C-alpha cells in the first residue's frame, strides 16, 4: 500500500514533505550552498552552520 501511495505522489507531480533524516544532510547542504552561492557569497559562518547542522542531525 505504501509503495502505491508513493507512486501516486510521484506521478501526480505533487511535492512530498518528509521528516528530516541524517541521510538527507548531504543533499540539504548542497542545495543550500548552491542557493547561497547563486544569490550571495558563501562565508565562513555559512560553512560553520553546515558543519554544526551535520553534527546535530546525527
Residue 50 pLDDT > 70: yes
**Does residue 29 belong to any structural domain of this protein?**
yes
**Does residue 4 belong to any structural domain of this protein?**
no
**Does residue 13 belong to any structural domain of this protein?**
no
Q: In the chain, how many domains are there? A: 1
**Does residue 43 belong to any structural domain of this protein?**
yes
**Does residue 8 belong to any structural domain of this protein?**
no
Q: What is the pLDDT of residues 1-42, one digit of tens each?
A: 666 766 666 666 777 788 888 888 888 889 999 999 999 999
Domain encompassing residue 49 = 19-58
**Does residue 40 belong to any structural domain of this protein?**
yes
pLDDT class for 53, splitting at 50, 70, 90?
Answer: low
Note if the pTM is more than 0.75. Answer: no
Write out the H or E segment, with its range, that includes residue 13: none
What's the pLDDT score for residue 40?
95
**Does residue 55 belong to any structural domain of this protein?**
yes
**Does residue 23 belong to any structural domain of this protein?**
yes
Q: How far is CA 42 from CA 5, 25, 33, 49, 57, in A?
A: 39, 18, 7, 11, 21
What's the pLDDT score for residue 49?
86
Helix, strand, coil percentages in the chain from 3-state DSSP, rounded to 5: 75, 0, 25
Amino acid at each position: 500500500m505504501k509503495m502505491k501511495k508513493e507512486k501516486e505522489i510521484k506521478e501526480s507531480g505533487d511535492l512530498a514533505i518528509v521528516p528530516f533524516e541524517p541521510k538527507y544532510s548531504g543533499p540539504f547542504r548542497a542545495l543550500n550552498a548552491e542557493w547561497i552561492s547563486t544569490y550571495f557569497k558563501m562565508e565562513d559562518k555559512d560553512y560553520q552552520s553546515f558543519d554544526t547542522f551535520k553534527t546535530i542531525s546525527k
